[in-house]
Amino acid sequence: MASLMAGAAKYDLYSHDFRRATYETYARMRERDPVHLQPGLDGETPIWFVTRYDDVVALLTDNERFVLDPALALTPDELRRREDESPLPLDERVSTHLLTQDGEDHRRLRRLVTKAFTPRMIEGLRPRIEEIADELLDAVAPHGSMDLVDDFAFPLPITVIAELLGIPVEDRDRFRVWSNTFVLPPLTDELREQFSRHTNEFVAYLDDLFRERRARPTDDLVSALVQAEEQGDHLSENELYSMAVLLIVAGHETTVSLITNAVHALLTHPDQLAALRSDRSLVPPAVDELLRFDSPVERTITRWAADDVELGGERIARGDLVIAVIGSANRDESRFLDAGTLDVTREDVRHVGFGRGPHYCLGAPLAKLETEIALTKLLDRLPGLRLAIAEDDLYWRPVPIFRSLASLPVAWDA
């Protein structure tokens, strides 16, 4: 294990300044230290950061040697020590989900929800997503300005995922608060207290919802999951809570950022925006290029090495922690020609923005459809759309795994 090798961090990967120089930092890492060990966010725990495209693909597709469950990588003693040292004990009610499980447990959980997210099922949501986008724009169009995040990019995906799951949309602001807590690393006592409080609130909320759906099942995903739990051998109670939490959090956090980052990228690349304006059929493939160019999930969940592994010329030891830096891999010049250039007509955009391998994003077809509709509606309905904030005033949220703007003021000719 690498625990004795923790030195000072060579690369700033967390500060506000890093946010202004993200892609320059990653370019240096790809060139000089493509598989690099340095302390993570807590300033202590050593983590390998993997920044080249090929290495990221190798890491994400090798789920035998890079695992999510530490019990598969650590000895019982190491595991106990880790649990003792951990600032916040894992709450299994909300952490027994797809992104913490490997092997057969992961496959079983994934099978339960795969059917709801196939491209065909998702395409069936198109008219409703268009309607939601129109309603949101009806409310702001006459004003000539809005905060893209609060008024459009957040309410769109949270409404879609709430309807899909069968959760009251009126409660969306509560999900936003809980979600925000779940994506922040609990580094201070205050954040740890908030994490426990919000977990309890979220679970109590879900308890009521599950009770209601048990009594009166409807045609939604929560009813289907509750029935799977009742059948006993498919889904435990903790897995049921955790699945709902994961789908709510993963189902909107990331899409908010994709829509926002995509609009930001287009408004700062007028030639690319003009190309989409003149040919709407470019929008669906452009979503992938926009996702490659400014990836909302910038770094994956941390994996554990279950064995000693050679990667990118480095020897990663069993028990080490490893992160795939998606935002860097998607800008790797050895994979993408002129990787730093946004080109909405680019061919072969095989990015890793949705991950790769067994944990490939379940919601990819949904996220792509939502973003395609969002961009098309914004182009159709808000003439002269432009940024209403200086580049220097943009504030990137301090959430280490996401690249996500706190707000994006925009204006148009009302």
Catalog residues that contact ligand HEM under the rule CB under 6 A. 60, 98-99, 110, 246-247, 250-251, 254-255, 258, 296-297, 300-301, 326, 353-355, 359, 361-363, 366-367
CA 22 from chain center: how many Å? 17
| Dihedral of the alpha carbons of 306, 300, 365, 381, in degrees to the nearest 10 | 180
The tokens describing 74, both together, are 């650590």
The tokens describing 21, both together, are 């120089």
Least Å distance, CB 50 to ligand HEM, is: 12
User: Across-strand partners of 44?
Assistant: none
Least Å distance, CB 61 to ligand HEM, is: 10
Burial zone of 366 (CB within 10 Å; 0-12 exposed, 13-18 middle, 19+ buried)? buried
Least Å distance, CB 328 to ligand HEM, is: 13
Q: What beta strand segments (E) does 64-215 contain?
A: 66-67, 145-147
Taking CB atoms, the residue at the shortest distance from ligand HEM is 363
Least Å distance, CB 247 to ligand HEM, is: 5
Least Å distance, CB 385 to ligand HEM, is: 20
Least Å distance, CB 182 to ligand HEM, is: 13
The tokens describing 290, both together, are 């926009």
The answer to whether 229 and 349 are in contact (CB under 8 A) is: no
Nearer to ligand HEM, 312 or 353 (CB): 353
Nearer to ligand HEM, 181 or 242 (CB): 242
User: Across-strand partners of 146?
Assistant: 410
Nearer to ligand HEM, 369 or 412 (CB): 369
Nearer to ligand HEM, 274 or 301 (CB): 301
Least Å distance, CB 413 to ligand HEM, is: 29
Cβ neighbours, 10 Å, residue 351 = 21
Place of tokens 């069936």: 124
Cβ neighbours, 10 Å, residue 141 = 15
The answer to whether 221 and 206 are in contact (CB under 8 A) is: no
Nearer to ligand HEM, 202 or 412 (CB): 202
Nearer to ligand HEM, 246 or 412 (CB): 246
Place of tokens 């159709």: 380
Nearer to ligand HEM, 159 or 255 (CB): 255
Cβ neighbours, 10 Å, residue 314 = 16
Nearer to ligand HEM, 90 or 301 (CB): 301
Least Å distance, CB 143 to ligand HEM, is: 27
The tokens describing 134, both together, are 């129109």
CA–CA distance, 87 with 84 (Å, rounded to integer): 8
